[in-house]
Amino acid sequence: MFWAASAAFALLVATVAWLGIRDVATGRSTPQEAAGDYLDALVHGDWGTVWTLLCRPDQLRAGPRERYAYERGAESGGVSLSALGVDVDVGDVRYDGETSSHAVKVQLSGGQRTERFELTVVEEQDEFRVCEEP
């Protein structure tokens, strides 16, 4: 009886740990988290992560992850926005029932400049992803 209870407890702990790791690994359980993760990766020049956070149609347009990361890294000259002191702020979200997407208000600021815009976020395979193309 003790062993059965121990085995059941171990299975429960393993399941909770797996779910916790899964949530941490994806980090995209809300549209705001997806937008924040995407912008953080963008600001830090982590192009592989940027590609991973793109919606499937954008991934298909961009091509393979490795090529996308290489090309974006080359375009940026290896300089990340974080080196320029750019900060990311994620704001409110608005659901668009027509397109089943979310518009997330975001802001990038650094120095004397601030850019405000909306990111389109969609739900794919139980997680949220950013669509760069409409």
Q: Which of 47, 76, 64, 57 is nearest to 130 (CA)?
A: 57
- Looking from the CA of 50 toward its CB, the CA atoms found within 13 Å total 21
Cβ partners under 8 Å of residue 134, min gap 6: 120
Along the chain (134 residues), what's the average pLDDT of each consecutive run of 10 residues?
Answer: 36 32 53 92 92 96 95 82 72 87 89 88 93 82
Residues near 51 by beta carbon (within 8 Å), at least 6 away in sequence: 59, 62, 65, 68, 69
Q: Quick one: pLDDT at residue 56?
A: 96
Number of domains in the chain: 1
Say if CB 55 and CB 130 are below 8 A apart. yes
Range of the domain at 48: 2-131
Q: Assign residue 33 the CATH number of its domain.
A: 3.10.450.50
According to the model, what pLDDT value does residue 5 have?
34
pTM of the predicted model, to two decimals?
Answer: 0.71
Instruction: Return the pLDDT at 107.
Output: 86
CA dihedral 68, 70, 76, 81 (to 10 degrees): 80
User: Contact, 62 vs 48, CB < 8 A?
Assistant: no
Is 116 within 8 Å of 106 (Cβ atoms)? yes
Q: Which two tokens stand for residue 44?
A: 């830090």
